[in-house]
Amino acid sequence: MKNYEASRIRNVGIVAHGGAGKTSLVEAMLFNTGVTTRIGRVEDGTTVADYHPEEIKRGMTVHSSLVPVELDGVKLNFLDTPGFLDFVGEVKSALRVVDAVLVVVSGVDGVEVMTEVTWDLADERNLPRMIFINKLDRENSNFFKVLDDLKARFEVNFVPFQLPIGSAEAFEGVVDLVQGKAFKYANGKPEEIPIPADLQDAVEKYREQLVEAAAEANDDYLTKYLEGEGLTPDEVNVGLAESFKAGKFVPVLAGSAVKNIGVDLVAGAAVRYFPAPEVEPGKPLAALVFKTLADPYVGRMNYVRVYAGTLRSDSQVFNANKEKVEKIGQVFYVRGKNQQAAESVPAGDICVLVKLQETTTGDTLSTKENPVVLEGIDFPEPTLSLAIAPKSKGDEDKLSTALARTVEEEPTIRVTKNTETRQTVITGMGETQLEIIVDRFKRKYGLDVVLEPLRIPYRETIRSETKVEGKYKKQTGGRGQYGHVWIRFEPLHDGTDFVFDEEVFGGSVPSSFFPAVEKGLREAMQEGVLAGYPVTGVKAVLYDGSYHPVDSSEMAFKIAASMAFKKGMQQANPVLLEPIMEVEVVAPEAFMGDIISDLNGKRGRILGMDPEGKRTRIRAHVPLAELARYAIDLKAMTQGRAFFSMRFASYEEMPAHLAEKVIKQAQGAAEK
């Protein structure tokens, strides 16, 4: 691939709901421009864009893939993105670096969840869009029904650029309303034919809409149109380009990627209407890393969009986020998995750097003399947490390495260590993402792992006051051991873990042993009497006891305090506490009833509801034990249209019948 100046580049994100045909569309474009000699099939694992083993195995896009298409002296950098919610982070990173979006919609299924999600993401970045209604060769496809669906879901002026000729198996071509011509296709090649008589009325109706959209470009065109004068073909073309640039309408194109019908018109429209990157000549280097891959052969690969200056092979750059100098060996252009070395990559283009030491996704590369930090990527917070552990005991180090590399590649994965439950916790966007990571560990690292539910960090506390004696007396041949305490235990209700106090009179217990008593109590609190969980919310007051001038020691008083604690816990009405989370769910209004009902069924307490545009934010307190599968449940309940976050709120007493189950399980595990 040669270098293109910015005015001859189009950076385009291709988005869709899974199965709508994004990857097949790219395949047809590659075939039409002579890059490939046959159109690859997703089902066969032979496409240029979906080349990772997990993509071939599952027949779905998992990673966003860079696939340049060169047409009419213009380079279209297509970023083919995943169509499933688990991988929405890949979509967000791609949309951060493109200048326009091509939305592929199935002519059979119409607007689906990811159509809405990606549309909203494009809205956030104010990116111009174009719609391609695909699969019009399929049974039950309906171009006009999908067009109505789009208009109903999004408050946008959708203007058809093409109308289909025939439908399902009889779909053979399109009427291009811009040119006013009809085309029949064979092997991707258009042949002009007369406009079918049965389409004449529809063509007139939608051609009028198209001319009206062109007339809105400027006052002269609008006046001419309103006064009944027709716009010339040149004026229509110019007007459409200007109106599109001003965001006054969204073009809708028609075709079949698999049959290669209308694909040439999609590529042509992308060249003609989508904006070139805005570049200021003479500016120093500024480039954003938007994706990182760990390739088994070449090592770490950083995908980079150059915003200013030039990236050169055999040079040095400055990572402004990490404040580190990085040495660049070779700069590559890529198309799918195929790499092509380049001497330099100018502003506006996208490339790949390999083997950088410090650089990760979201970092800006610049010059040390002119450091700059570009806007990063706002990745969604993962919400499905599971414990991960190696099947073989000796593989802990291997797992640690694999997880570290995964976090580099997948910004929507979090890995934490829970010291209390002794579990390594992996948090992702959903089941599919985590399953793919498990498969990848097996394939790349020969590592078998298991995913398990998280253990809940319960607590124990007391609900009444009690006074107990702890006495430790041990006589041996030599010096003995003697410690004797009277302690009053009281419940705390202010969220404090533990308070130690003393009310000793007359030196019955010397003050030198007070720290030993406190230490004995603190150590004993690590394991409660009900189910062995840590104890919280207790005040212990040492008020009496006795000592022996020879046999008393710190150890003896520590043990006596521990004995008193265990006895006191049993007498002071011990109860089990569970962690309560503050949960926030943001969802379309239509799902409010189901969500609230489900939260109530999870022992949740609704705290409030706040409208946010077309959505509503629900706040609730919900026990953590009820939320293990909430990421999955919410996705199923709302078809993926809602999202949630949660944070720790407090510990609360667990209902007795549920506490009994937890206690029995803990006792059974202890016996084993």
Query: Are 72 and 304 spatial neighbours (Cβ–Cβ below 8 Å)?
Result: no
What's the pTM? 0.88
Whichever domain contains 561, its CATH number is 3.30.230.10
607: nearest Cα among 617, 591, 596, 618? 618
User: Residue 216 domain-assigned?
Assistant: no
Mean pLDDT of the 447-455 span: 94
Looking at the structure, do residues 66 and 22 belong to the same domain, yes or no?
yes
User: Residue 668 domain-assigned?
Assistant: no
Distance CA 223, CA 209 (A): 16
* Total domains in the fold of the chain: 5
| Residue carrying structure tokens 């890529």 | 334
Whichever domain contains 653, its CATH number is 3.30.70.240
Beta-carbon contacts of residue 187 (< 8 Å; ≥ 6 apart): 260
Beta bridge partners of 183: 174, 192
Q: At what angle do helices 630-638 and 592-601 cross, to 10 degrees?
A: 150
Q: In what order do the strands lie in the sheet with 162-165?
A: 162-165, 173-176, 181-186, 189-193
Mean pLDDT of the 473-491 span: 88
The pLDDT of residue 477 is 65
Residue type, 242: E
The pLDDT of residue 229 is 86
Whether 450 has a pLDDT exceeding 80, the answer reads yes
> pLDDT for 406-415, tens place per residue?
998 899 999 9
Beta bridge partners of 501: 541
Distance CA 28, CA 39 (A): 6
Mean pLDDT of the 562-569 span: 96
Q: What are the tokens at 78?
A: 């297509």
The pLDDT of residue 473 is 93
Percent above pLDDT 70 for the chain: 99
Looking at the structure, do residues 534 and 603 belong to the same domain, yes or no?
no
Distance CA 307, CA 667 (A): 62
- The alpha carbon of residue 473 and the mean position of all alpha carbons in its chain are separated, in whole angstroms, by 60
Looking at per-residue confidence, does 478 or 529 come out higher? 529
Pick the last residue of a domain from 519, 548, 572.
572
The pLDDT of residue 48 is 87
Distance CA 565, CA 13 (A): 64
pLDDT band at 44 (very low <50, low <70, confident <90, very high): confident
Range with the lowest mean pLDDT among 96-100, 362-366, 505-509, 553-557? 505-509
The pLDDT of residue 202 is 96
Looking at the structure, do residues 392 and 346 belong to the same domain, yes or no?
no
The pLDDT of residue 49 is 87
Query: Are 473 and 480 spatial neighbours (Cβ–Cβ below 8 Å)?
Result: yes
Whichever domain contains 426, its CATH number is 3.30.70.870
Query: Are 360 and 408 spatial neighbours (Cβ–Cβ below 8 Å)?
Result: yes
Whichever domain contains 30, its CATH number is 3.40.50.300
User: Residue 215 domain-assigned?
Assistant: no
> pLDDT for 613-629, tens place per residue?
889 999 999 999 999 99
List, as one string, the DSSP characters of 93-147. HHHHH-SEEEEEEETTTBS-HHHHHHHHHHHHTT--EEEEEE-TTSTT--HHHHH
Beta strands in 278-394 (DSSP E): 286-295, 299-308, 310-312, 315-319, 324-328, 331-335, 338-342, 344-346, 350-354, 364-366, 384-390
pLDDT band at 670 (very low <50, low <70, confident <90, very high): confident
The CA-atom distances, in angstroms, between 151 and each of 173, 274, 492, 562, 669 are 24, 22, 59, 71, 58
Q: At what angle do helices 22-32 and 263-273 cross, to 10 degrees?
A: 90
> pLDDT for 48-79, tens place per residue?
888 888 888 888 998 999 999 999 999 999 99
Distance CA 567, CA 517 (A): 15
Looking at the structure, do residues 322 and 181 belong to the same domain, yes or no?
no
Pick the last residue of a domain from 452, 471, 491.
452
Beta-carbon contacts of residue 219 (< 8 Å; ≥ 6 apart): none
Range of the domain at 585: 576-658
Query: Are 270 and 130 spatial neighbours (Cβ–Cβ below 8 Å)?
Result: yes
Query: Are 575 and 460 spatial neighbours (Cβ–Cβ below 8 Å)?
Result: yes
> pLDDT for 334-386, tens place per residue?
999 999 999 999 999 999 999 999 999 999 999 999 999 999 999 999 999 99
Q: Within 13 Å of residue 670, how many CA atoms lie on the same side as its CB?
A: 13
Length of the chain measured in residues: 672
What is the residue-averaged pLDDT of the chain? 94
Looking at the structure, do residues 50 and 139 belong to the same domain, yes or no?
yes
User: Residue 471 domain-assigned?
Assistant: yes
> pLDDT for 634-645, tens place per residue?
999 998 899 999
Looking at the structure, do residues 69 and 119 belong to the same domain, yes or no?
yes
Beta bridge partners of 618: 585, 609
User: Residue 373 domain-assigned?
Assistant: no
